[in-house]
Amino acid sequence: MKIELNLNGRPRSFEIEPNEYLLETLRKHHMTSVKNGCDASTCGACTVLLDGKPTLSCTVLSIRANGHEVTTVEGITDEVDLISNHFGDEGADQCGFCNAGLALTVYALKKEYKNPTEEDIKNYIVGNLCRCSGYQAQLKAIKTYLEDQK
C-alpha cells in the first residue's frame, strides 16, 4: 500500500506493508538518525515529530503517518546544531545514540512551552533514556539552550 506524507518539509510517498512501523519506513528511506534502541516504546531513541508532537516511531504503524507531517533531525539541522553545541559544552554528548531523539523532544518542548520550569523539562524528556550521561549534564544543556533562545 502507498502512503503520502510530508517528511521534513517535502511531500513524499512510500510503499509500505500494512504491518510496517514508521521507524522501519523512515530508516529504509535513509532517515538513519532515527534509532532502534528497544523496539518496545521504552527508550525514546526512535522519537520523531508527528505533526510536531514527539512520537515513538517503533510502535506507530506507518499508515498512521499517511496525510501527516513527520520531522526527523535531518529536517531541522540548524536547530539540532544549536542543541548539540549545548550538549557538547556541558559534556552531555557521549555515545550519541540518544541524541537525535532527545534533540527532537527538546525542539518540541521549546515550541510548546514559553517558560518551562525544571519540572516541566524533566517531565517532557522523561521518555528519552540515556545510558551514558546521568541526565544532570543533559538538563543543564537543555536549560542553557532554552535560555539562549529567548
* Binding residues for ligand FES (CB under 6 A): 36-39, 41-46, 56, 58, 94-98, 130-133
Of 63 and 132, the one with the shorter C-beta distance to ligand FES is 132
In single-letter form, the type of residue at position 10 comes to: R
C-beta of 52 vs 96, nearer to ligand FES: 96
CB of 26 to ligand FES, least distance (A): 12
CB of 122 to ligand FES, least distance (A): 16
Q: Check if the beta carbon of residue 77 is closer than 8 Å to that of residue 134.
A: no
Least Å distance between CB 36 and ligand FES? 5
Shortest gap between Cβ of 120 and ligand FES (angstroms)?
21
CA distance 45 to 48: 9
- The x, y and z cell numbers of residue 89, run together, are 559544552
All 3 cell numbers of residue 101? Answer: 531523539
Residue 105 CB-density burial (10 A; 0-12 exposed, 13-18 middle, 19+ buried):
buried
Closest CB to ligand FES among residues 65, 98: 98
